[in-house]
Structure 1
């Protein structure tokens, strides 16, 4: 059964909208739509996105999907069907999206939208996911694109010795892609890249100066993006912890945001410096922290730490006179189906009014992106009663990541 989009709302509601448009111009006058899908996993994904957009509407906020990824190996056709339905929903809502991921991924990585044709640093071939990503590209109302993730490679997730004393070798453990890589993704219709950077590499000591060599590499990457006419979100691709030491200094000590040695003001200090150092025309957004999951406390206490840290970082950026968009992730669980559990209300006070709340969307049962289970098992894992196969989707009222 094909996807079905049906226009709402009722005639009376349309008349009310027209009257309102005379008094106050609407930023997004598109009508609601109903999206119908074919199975329970698709329905779970679309219902999750509907939940996220409903939270945005209740809070008069705007949003961003910083990551969406699905595999191209086992059960690829079924997962592509979920992705197609999900992107149809994101189109109806009008959300900016950066897919996971492009970069110097090995040939066996199943979620590479764009990768090298052979092992290397130059991105020059499209993966199976690219067909869907490109079909649902940027519009005049919102930007779409991909993550460029190689700047986060070789960190503590994959290297137990990684830390400020062992930050990795540029060009071997991590990279920021070649100029031709930026030109390649731009040639595929990508307009927006979420560029991963690492806290320990850029600021080798909390509250200390930025590392000049690493900052120079980031600036060079921004120049490559500008030459390719790409807009950039700088994504601090950490999780709330900070690996101090490593290498010849011995095993690193893991500090957690909210600890005495890594207070929440440490993140604000980083962004105060980084905001000033990346005043580049290609940069339209600053992503405060990729997934703040490893904090000094768990549960609601962890959410409160993150809310305080995020507000302090926003304040530090705005104190610089920086009016670029700021992307604020949620504390776990942060996927669209669970959005709002830890944050019932929008919490950022931004005098510029240019904050977007960021969620990450993976379609497996736990939202982890590991896709351990078969698609049949995923169907069986959908909780009872399953979500409705038809969801009403309302466009967001405004955007901060646009083509304008």
Structure 2
């Protein structure tokens, strides 16, 4: 064959190879971004707006941070579409007798917009531990109606937004002197005055501890005219349940399951839906990663969604963070990916037989 004959043939081979590679690459990307079967059970907390809660209102970019498009894009690529988003009450409402702060509300709406563009859903989490400016909700300084009022205004502003999944009315109330159930009911009543569709997430007293749930939240049964409540617990694997892990701490692989079980059994007995709103482990601990794996398998078995703590801006190399470092996934992400696919059709657990 002459050189003149070989050139067209070689050109044709190069074109065919390029087309085949492009087709293969497109298919691989489509597979990576294709929604997993089942419902969305694996989520993350996208933290940053809740940083420096002792400095309020604080300055955005200095004391606290809102996520950017790249943060949503990363988790969307990983098929993670549930995002719990902490914010601080004092930044949304600088004083109880004032309206909602325009700039902060604008940033919350932008966050919802970014989530919607990436086919993700936000749970708005008021990250205040049952307090406003250090005073308990239900005390003379922060009456129930003040708390109800802010949630009524938030629901009016964000109801129906395509990026909204639910209202997490309070992060980790604790030491509330019995005031928390009344506060939770007041918030639910206020939200339902303006929004009868959106799920409401109810955390328990004692930092929402899953393990201690039955000791302090046995009777936390809030009434909802829309019948659309999801009860939320939190769980960490360190010795004092706080998430402040010791450098060399090791755990039994079933510790997460055992700490979650009291909450799950309570849900089953009452026929209620549940959510594990926070859990997290150090990236360097093989025993913690194994316990996290077992915990997620247990939650998937009961169709209970969860949100890992935490991703978002400002974390750096913090041991529990799941934001990638220099483009490299953290070890916890591999564990999350194992549990995205599921066979659930609704949030569980199923009622006890």
- Bin for the TM-score computed over the shorter chain: 0.5 to 0.7
State the partner residue of 1:289.
Answer: 170
1:218 aligned counterpart, secondary structure: helix
Pair 138,234 (structure 1): closer, same or farther in 2 beyond 3 Å: farther
Report the structure, 1 or 2, having the larger strand content: 1
| Alpha-carbon distance, 1:281 to partner | 1.2
Matched, 1:334 2:208: yes
Deviation per residue, 1:299-342 (Å, 9 max, x gap): xxx2x310000011001011113311100000005322211111
Matched, 1:395 2:302: yes
| Alpha-carbon distance, 1:155 to partner | 1.3
Pair 142,179 (structure 1): closer, same or farther in 2 beyond 3 Å: closer
1:183 aligned counterpart, secondary structure: helix
Could you tell me whether the CA contact under 8 Å between 2:201 and 2:230 is conserved in 1?
Answer: yes
Deviation per residue, 1:45-92 (Å, 9 max, x gap): xxxxxxxxxxxxxxxxxxxxxxxxxxxxxxxxxxxxxxxxxxxxxxxx
Pair 284,387 (structure 1): closer, same or farther in 2 beyond 3 Å: closer
Q: Distance in 1 between matches of 2:195 and 2:127?
A: 24
What's the TM-score, normalizing by structure 1? Answer: 0.53
| Alpha-carbon distance, 1:365 to partner | 2.0
For structure 1, list consecutive stretches of 5 or more residues without a partner in the other structure: 1-133, 157-161, 244-253, 296-301
State the partner residue of 2:51.
Answer: 153
1:169 aligned counterpart, secondary structure: coil
For structure 2, list consecutive stretches of 5 or more residues without a partner in the other structure: 1-31, 262-290, 305-344, 349-353
State the partner residue of 1:265.
Answer: 145
Pair 281,336 (structure 1): closer, same or farther in 2 beyond 3 Å: same
Q: Distance in 2 between matches of 1:241 and 1:206?
A: 12
Could you tell me whether the CA contact under 8 Å between 1:232 and 1:283 is conserved in 2?
Answer: yes
Which of 130, 135, 154 aligns to 1:255? It is 135
Deviation per residue, 1:113-155 (Å, 9 max, x gap): xxxxxxxxxxxxxxxxxxxxx9xx9752443210011010121
| RCO higher in structure (CA 8 A, sep ≥6) | 1
State the partner residue of 1:274.
Answer: 154
State the partner residue of 2:233.
Answer: 359
State the partner residue of 1:316.
Answer: 190
State the partner residue of 1:218.
Answer: 108
Which of 180, 196, 199 aligns to 2:70? It is 180
Q: Distance in 2 between matches of 1:399 and 1:268?
A: 29
Could you tell me whether the CA contact under 8 Å between 1:238 and 1:291 is conserved in 2?
Answer: yes
Could you tell me whether the CA contact under 8 Å between 2:173 and 2:208 is conserved in 1?
Answer: no
Q: Distance in 2 between matches of 1:400 and 1:286?
A: 16
Q: Distance in 1 between matches of 2:119 and 2:39?
A: 18
Q: Distance in 1 between matches of 2:126 and 2:37?
A: 26
Pair 178,396 (structure 1): closer, same or farther in 2 beyond 3 Å: closer
2:109 aligned counterpart, secondary structure: helix
| Alpha-carbon distance, 1:188 to partner | 1.6
Q: CA RMSD in A?
A: 3.1
Q: How does 1:53-132 map to 2 (within 5 A)?
A: none
State the partner residue of 1:159.
Answer: none
State the partner residue of 2:96.
Answer: 206
2:216 aligned counterpart, secondary structure: coil
From the CA coordinates, give the structure whose radius of gyration is larger: 2
2:206 aligned counterpart, secondary structure: coil
1:151 aligned counterpart, secondary structure: coil
| Alpha-carbon distance, 1:373 to partner | 6.6
| Alpha-carbon distance, 1:172 to partner | 2.1
Could you tell me whether the CA contact under 8 Å between 1:333 and 1:339 is conserved in 2?
Answer: no
1:222 aligned counterpart, secondary structure: helix
Give the paired residue count: 235
2:211 aligned counterpart, secondary structure: helix
